[in-house]
């Protein structure tokens, strides 16, 4: 059994050279004001065992992006329909892990998320940050399959890590400020994510800001108790309401992000090739543009399932939160 995480979170003003104004937490409006942090999301009986249970129950995988291992372990779980259809969330990866039904502890966490959020969530990407060296580069979540008007929810279990939000390069809004050289400095916000917390991210923030979990290379003696709890390991559960689905055989796709919008019209999935390149390019646009045109980019749908990038140098880095 891992030790219970200490209360509170790291004193970032003590341990890191960060501007206090950029450090946000519960009660603060984050990003575009549609994003909030909620602490103590799970009841104590669940929060105290969640980390150990998740490590044991989840079937962890190594995921590859552009031929290299991503620096964390991953798993995908979701709500499988009675006929065997399952939600599919697409993001740049050579091939995503297979979706499995919600495992017991994940199911309990999902129930609590839906209770607080007042929205359904049918898909979760689970990531195991094994220590401070595991990270995820800055990105915007890909929304081709995310139901319009929904929220992206990230539940943190284990050691505290910091999510960094940064406005995109083309930002010219109230968050950006003109530097001495006449260029616009990108706004940065940092949000500590303590054990048993839930970050609710709105799609407006996802559109205008990039977010990341940066590697923390400090030695343990420079870290706070919440940061070193659970031997420095963290489990991240990103819940989404997905509107795109695969048929039970995994060979046909339909719904919001596909060309066929209904189960009856489901079309065969595409693996790699020119269509995959087009979708990767679309993901790159979403990663870089604050004025991303969802309908113009994703509206007609894509039937691509797995990606095989031909020229790794052509596209910007893009990952899933």
From first to last of its 321 residues, the chain has per-residue pLDDT tens of 444 444 455 554 444 444 444 899 999 999 999 999 999 999 999 999 999 999 999 999 886 655 567 678 999 999 999 999 999 999 886 567 899 999 999 999 999 999 999 999 999 999 999 999 899 989 999 999 999 999 999 999 999 999 999 999 887 655 555 555 555 678 999 999 999 999 999 999 999 999 999 999 999 999 999 999 999 999 999 999 999 999 999 999 999 999 999 999 999 999 989 999 999 999 999 999 999 999 999 999 999 998 764 443 333 333 433
Distance CA 149, CA 241 (A): 10
Mind listing the domains of the chain with CATH numbers? 12-244 (2.60.120.590)
CB count within 10 Å of CB 293 equals: 11
DSSP calls for 6-66 = PSS---HHHHS---GGGB--TTS-BTTTTBEEEES-S-HHHHHHHHHHHHHHS--EEEEET
Distance CA 162, CA 192 (A): 4
- 222: three-class secondary structure by DSSP: helix
């Amino acid at each position: 059994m891992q030790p219970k995480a200490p209360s509170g979170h790291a004193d970032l003003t003590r341990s890191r050279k960060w501007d206090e104004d950029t450090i946000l937490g519960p009660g603060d409006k984050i990003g575009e004001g549609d994003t909030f942090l909620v602490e103590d999301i799970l009841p104590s009986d669940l929060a105290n065992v969640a980390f150990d249970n998740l490590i044991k129950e989840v079937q962890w995988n190594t995921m590859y992006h552009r031929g290299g291992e991503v620096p964390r372990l991953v798993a995908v779980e979701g709500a499988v329909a009675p006929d065997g259809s399952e939600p599919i969330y697409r993001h740049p990866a050579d091939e995503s892990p297979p979706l499995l039904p919600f495992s017991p502890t994940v199911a309990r966490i999902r129930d609590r998320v839906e209770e607080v959020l007042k929205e359904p969530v049918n898909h979760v990407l689970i990531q195991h940050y094994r220590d401070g060296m595991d990270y995820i580069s800055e990105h915007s979540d890909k929304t081709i399959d995310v139901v319009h008007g929904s929220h992206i929810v990230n539940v943190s279990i284990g050691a505290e890590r910091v999510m960094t939000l940064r406005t995109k390069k083309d930002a010219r809004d109230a968050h950006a400020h003109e530097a001495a050289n006449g260029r616009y400095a990108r706004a940065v916000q940092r949000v500590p994510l303590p054990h048993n917390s839930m970050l609710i991210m709105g799609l407006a923030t996802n559109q205008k800001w990039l977010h990341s979990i940066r590697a923390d290379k400090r030695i343990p003696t420079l870290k706070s108790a919440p940061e070193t709890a659970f031997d420095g390991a963290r489990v991240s559960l990103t819940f989404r309401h997905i509107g795109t689905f695969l048929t039970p055989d995994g060979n046909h796709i339909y719904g919001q992000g596909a060309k066929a919008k209904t189960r009856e019209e489901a079309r065969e999935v595409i693996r790699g090739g020119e269509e995959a390149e087009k979708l990767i390019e679309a993901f790159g646009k979403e990663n870089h543009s604050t004025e991303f045109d969802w309908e113009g980019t994703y509206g007609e749908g894509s039937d691509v399932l797995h990606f095989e990038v031909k020229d790794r140098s052509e596209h910007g880095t893009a990952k899933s939160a």
